[in-house]
Structure 1
């Protein structure tokens, strides 16, 4: 059975490429669009629970616009869901991405000008013009120091995750304003050009290979419904509801705590 989290089909439409979709469904070729809000919730159902979040400039394929709600599939990881149609705009090729934990987009190339948006790490932007210290983008003027060229990648997922230290824990969150364990791992891995799905069970199955050696920097430890990055042989880094934030934690203490609270033992140790 297809995973509904990554299968573009609902009660009315199905992606044209899907085999075996119910004959009563309208078969649809998607419309390519992009997110035009700093952060938008990707909902399980219209008006329902948040499954994930999408950031400014992220590409989506829209399969339906029904009563002002769009049914979309995110290109970064294939996750499907619903969001407000007014959070989407025409597709536009991104030229840069936000590599600072967060930044502001200003009305002019001047830090004293009004700030239009707060943009999170990973937001994708299109350059319109450049000055010495700013790049004018589709969101506004963003400091050069906070941007990487679209193909520029980082090389240490742990260092990326450390940018989020202190970020409040948010179930389904994917931004500097709030993030969960799988969102943190996904942000870290995608920034380093490692494909990564959105949820922990998918990550445990699809990311890296099982490691039998002692944990080392950059490894992933999985529990049922949770994931952490290994900082060193004694320390992990994770977004967690115990601290309600992205935080370091002694590895052995975390393993014992998680088991004692009834969430079980480590289910996998993976290496990229």
Structure 2
């Protein structure tokens, strides 16, 4: 494994099996993201590479000067997260299944919301009311916005369509802002289908597709990826629309080539 995005080691420490001379081998400490969205960075105060949402697991390899270096449990992506964005590990029972929701101090939608949560945020529910569920932190979420962890979606495209209109954000992984590979990953992970974080890694998904486009197919360009809604339309987070948008497949292929980003590099069926 030579991909630096997946090597759980820095200059000082490494997980067992990855240590080189001068690096200490460590046992990771599992934690959970405690903020609605946490940036995963290439270095402390460095550029954002990906994001994790509330409740997602992160294996901490090192803590240093307010930063935690570690590995995302969902896909093995490594990087640095601000320590203030992390909390104790917990076993989630539910996840946000709407595009977004809110945390309330009581089971009353007229009460002032304390935080907004994106799709996929994970929670531990301890009680159910008529229209709300109560979390282990004593806060409430509309029952219509959550789904049991063991009740995943079955269609990645349906999940991607929930993100329609979400602003484009380079390195984004939430319904507050997302990029092309983040959208594909959100769709597949919500269906409990493994998926790496970046489009070049995602090209290994499924098998080469033949015989036209079908719903759920994944189409790749150099540095870009989209999901087919049907044989004529795709959905993708893109910088042309600066949002998650629908686009005719033929028009997207022509536009992307015309703007200098090349032709389709792969067409995969999952």
| TM-score of the two chains, using structure 1 as the length reference | 0.97
Instruction: Indicate the residue corresponding to 2:43 in structure 1.
Output: 45
Structure 1 residue matching 2:254: 3-state secondary structure: helix
Q: Does 1:214 align with 2:215?
A: no
User: 1:151 Cα shift?
Assistant: 1.1
User: 1:59 Cα shift?
Assistant: 0.6
2:102, 2:136 → 1: CA distance? 13
Structure 2 residue matching 1:263: 3-state secondary structure: coil
Structure 2 residue matching 1:77: 3-state secondary structure: coil
1:250, 1:159 → 2: CA distance? 17
2:68, 2:235 → 1: CA distance? 35
* CA separation of 1:138 and 1:43: change in aligned 2, threshold 3 A: farther
2:256, 2:101 → 1: CA distance? 34
Structure 2 residue aligned with 1:227, among 225, 229, 233?
A: 225
2:195, 2:50 → 1: CA distance? 14
Instruction: Indicate the residue corresponding to 1:74 in structure 2.
Output: 72
Structure 1, residues 70-102: CA drift from partner, whole Å, max 9, x if none? 002110111111011111111110000110000
1:162, 1:209 → 2: CA distance? 23
Q: Does 1:108 align with 2:102?
A: no
2:244, 2:9 → 1: CA distance? 34
Structure 2 residue matching 1:232: 3-state secondary structure: coil
Instruction: Indicate the residue corresponding to 1:10 in structure 2.
Output: 10
2:135, 2:221 → 1: CA distance? 40
2:10, 2:42 → 1: CA distance? 11
Gaps in structure 1 of 5+ consecutive residues: none
User: 1:155 Cα shift?
Assistant: 1.3
Gaps in structure 2 of 5+ consecutive residues: none
Q: Does 1:125 align with 2:100?
A: no
Q: Which runs of 4+ in 1 moved over 2 A?
A: none
2:207, 2:31 → 1: CA distance? 34
1:105, 1:203 → 2: CA distance? 33
User: 1:113 Cα shift?
Assistant: 1.5
Structure 2 residue matching 1:183: 3-state secondary structure: helix
Structure 1 residue matching 2:141: 3-state secondary structure: strand
CA RMSD across the alignment: 1.0
Structure 1, residues 164-215: CA drift from partner, whole Å, max 9, x if none? 110000000011110000000000111112110000000012x111111211
Instruction: Indicate the residue corresponding to 1:65 in structure 2.
Output: 63
Q: Does 1:257 align with 2:223?
A: no
Instruction: Indicate the residue corresponding to 1:85 in structure 2.
Output: 83
Instruction: Indicate the residue corresponding to 1:161 in structure 2.
Output: 160
